[in-house]
């Protein structure tokens, strides 16, 4: 860990053949995430997906909201935008529509994307906006100190649920599926290879892609609920996860330290917002319309 603090020892630090190195902003290391946090692991998978995709990195942009996962944008060597709380998706929508050649990835936390950003999440999926949305779900508001999130399962305590959470949590794959996402998957940070593969598929898929990544927050969620450290949570993911590709999303809800259904749940085709716009205007306006972004 100490080597990470010394940017002059780059070779020792990363190893010259480290495949994720080209995708990181080395001058931004060390990062702000706590020991045992799962965000960095998810980012590693994302970098491997970038490498495997063979895509032009100048044509990929990343947009984050606020919070621990919201800092992701700052560490990736891509055009990156750290926006306002909950509004990464509408920012990304504008970016995508202004420059349709870009692959725009939204990478943020569960609170950001599905509480304050819940409305935008639903509508972007409904419109089939061509975005890949990665949601790092650690069941809590990390940066503000461990408050209840819309994904917190029934039972665990949070600083704003000191007697245990009594609110029903979102089943995010079910929500994304119901709103019209064309690709929906869930993996944990134990499943780094499957996660990287899903992210690669997501990068190459056209339309609203949603990938949920279960990740530990040892500092707040785990400590408060006596769940051990990051490794203990990864062990839990390993022991209680069941891979069920194609599972009905209504059946994949999460409970406190209960079974976890992971896999690719949805993979379908639907015209994107831009495709629909171009097709519709082409039909009703004829020669007066020039295909946009084509």
Partner 1 sequence: MHADPKGVLTGVHFIDGDHAACEGALAAGCRFVAGYPITPSTEIVERFAARIPKVGGVFIQMEDELAASIAIQGAAWGGKKVMNVTSGPGLSLMMEHLGYAFITETPCVWIDVQRCGPSTGVPTGPAQHDMMQVKWGSHGDFQIIALCPNSPQECFDLTVRAFNLTETWRVPVFLMMDEVVGHMTERVDIPRPEDIEVVERKWTNKRPGEYQVYGTTPEDLVPEMTKAGDGHRIHVTGLTHNEKGYPDMSVPNQERMLGRLIGKIQQNADQLVDVREDRTEDADVVVVSYGITSRVAMAAIEQARAKGVKVGSARLVIAWPFPAKRMQELARTAKVFVVPEMNMGQMVQEVERAVAGVAKVVSVPHAGGSVHDVETILSAIMEASR
CA 210 to chain centre: 7
**How near is the Cβ of 200 to partner 1 at its closest, in Å?**
21
Task: Note whether 72 and 62 are within 8 A (CB).
Answer: yes
Q: Give the residues lining the site for partner 1 (CB under 8 A).
A: 25, 27-28, 57-59, 61, 63, 73-74, 77-84, 86-87, 89-99, 101-102, 119-120, 122-123, 273, 277, 281, 285, 288-290, 292
The two tokens of residue 73 are 């944008």
The residue to which tokens 């010259």 are assigned? 16
CA distance 43 to 83: 18
From the list 157, 164, 183, 184, the residue with the least C-alpha distance to 172 is 184
Task: Note whether 94 and 52 are within 8 A (CB).
Answer: no
Q: Which is nearer to partner 1, 10 or 79 (CB)?
A: 79
Q: Which is nearer to partner 1, 48 or 96 (CB)?
A: 96
**How near is the Cβ of 85 to partner 1 at its closest, in Å?**
8
Task: Note whether 101 and 178 are within 8 A (CB).
Answer: no
**How near is the Cβ of 2 to partner 1 at its closest, in Å?**
23
Q: Which is nearer to partner 1, 71 or 186 (CB)?
A: 71
**How near is the Cβ of 291 to partner 1 at its closest, in Å?**
10
**How near is the Cβ of 189 to partner 1 at its closest, in Å?**
25
Task: Note whether 123 and 133 are within 8 A (CB).
Answer: no
Q: Which is nearer to partner 1, 78 or 209 (CB)?
A: 78
Q: Which is nearer to partner 1, 75 or 265 (CB)?
A: 75
């Amino acid at each position: 860990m100490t080597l990470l603090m010394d940017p002059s020892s780059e070779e020792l630090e990363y190893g010259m053949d480290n495949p994720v190195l080209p995708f990181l902003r080395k001058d931004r290391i060390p990062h702000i995430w706590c020991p045992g946090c799962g965000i960095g692991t998810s980012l590693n998978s994302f970098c491997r997906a970038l490498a495997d995709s063979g895509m032009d990195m100048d044509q990929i942009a990343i947009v984050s909201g606020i919070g621990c996962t919201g800092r992701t944008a700052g560490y990736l060597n891509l055009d990156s935008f750290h926006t306002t709380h909950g509004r990464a998706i509408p920012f990304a929508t504008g970016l995508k529509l202004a420059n349709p050649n870009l692959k725009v990835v939204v990478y943020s936390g569960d609170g950001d994307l599905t509480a304050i950003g819940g409305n935008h999440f639903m509508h972007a999926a409904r419109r089939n906006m061509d975005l890949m949305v990665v949601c790092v779900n650690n069941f809590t508001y990390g940066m503000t100190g461990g408050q209840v999130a819309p994904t917190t399962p029934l039972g665990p305590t949070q600083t704003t649920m000191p007697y245990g959470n009594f609110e029903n949590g979102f089943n995010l794959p079910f929500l994304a599926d119901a709103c019209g996402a064309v690709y929906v998957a869930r993996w944990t940070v134990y499943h780094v290879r499957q996660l990287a593969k899903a992210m690669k598929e997501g990068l190459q898929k056209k339309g609203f892609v949603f990938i949920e990544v279960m990740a530990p927050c040892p500092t707040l969620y785990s400590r408060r609920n006596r769940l051990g450290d990051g490794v203990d949570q990864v062990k839990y993911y390993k022991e209680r996860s069941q891979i069920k590709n194609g599972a009905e999303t209504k059946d994949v809800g999460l409970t406190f330290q209960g079974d976890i259904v992971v896999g690719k749940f949805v993979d379908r085709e639907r015209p994107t917002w831009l495709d629909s716009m171009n097709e519709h205007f082409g039909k009703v306006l004829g020669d007066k319309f020039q295909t946009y972004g084509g």
